[in-house]
Amino acid sequence: MRVLFACFAFFCALTVSAQKKNIQPSQLPENALTFIETNFTSVALHHCMKFTEGDNVRFKAVLADDTEIDFTEDGKWKEVDGKVHSVQPTFLGQTIIEYIKKNAPGQRLLKATNQGKTIDVTLVNGQKFTFDTSGKFIR
């Protein structure tokens, strides 16, 4: 019984501390709005969410084609995920785009994750590459 109560209390504490809230696009950080307007001009913004866990705040924008874009509290992109379809890689920069064109011709971007010091890229065919933030290939 104590274990059950402890698990219930822990679950309640997690539920209280983690909040997900639908927000208006205008409530996204300015950097996030600029990122979407610059890199995803052909797809409408469907909805936005704000996640709060303690002091940690992050945002998610979901486009009409189900592409999900995660942002940090200050609006820097953290992850762009096309889910089941490709996304335009313009936000990755010319160096990464050229590397992909040369080393995976004809392949398209499915997902990119900004790890802070590296950017992980997954192509539609499953190929994965890692670059530093200046676009230099790592692996």
Answer whether residue 65 is part of any domain.
yes
Whole-number average pLDDT of the chain: 90
Across 10-96, where does the E strand assignment appear? 18-23, 45-53, 56-63, 68-72, 77-81
Q: Are residues 105 and 139 in the same domain?
A: yes
Domain end residue (candidates: 36, 57, 76) = 76
Q: Are residues 65 and 37 in the same domain?
A: yes
Task: Give pLDDT tens digits for 7-28.
Answer: 444 555 544 567 999 999 999 9
Range of the domain at 116: 86-139
Assess contact for 71 and 29: CB atoms under 8 A. yes
Answer whether residue 9 is part of any domain.
no
CATH of the domain at 123: 3.40.1420.30
Q: Are residues 54 and 98 in the same domain?
A: no
Task: Give pLDDT tens digits for 118-137.
Answer: 999 999 999 999 999 999 99
Task: Give pLDDT tens digits for 104-118.
Answer: 999 999 999 999 999
19: helix, coil or strand?
strand
The two three-digit tokens of residue 105, written as one number? 């011709």
Tell me, what's the pLDDT at 6? 47
Q: Are residues 72 and 95 in the same domain?
A: no
Q: What is the C-alpha to C-alpha distance for residues 4 and 2, in angstroms, rounded to an integer?
A: 5
Assess contact for 68 and 81: CB atoms under 8 A. yes
Q: What is the C-alpha to C-alpha distance for residues 119 and 117, in angstroms, rounded to an integer?
A: 7
Answer whether residue 11 is part of any domain.
no
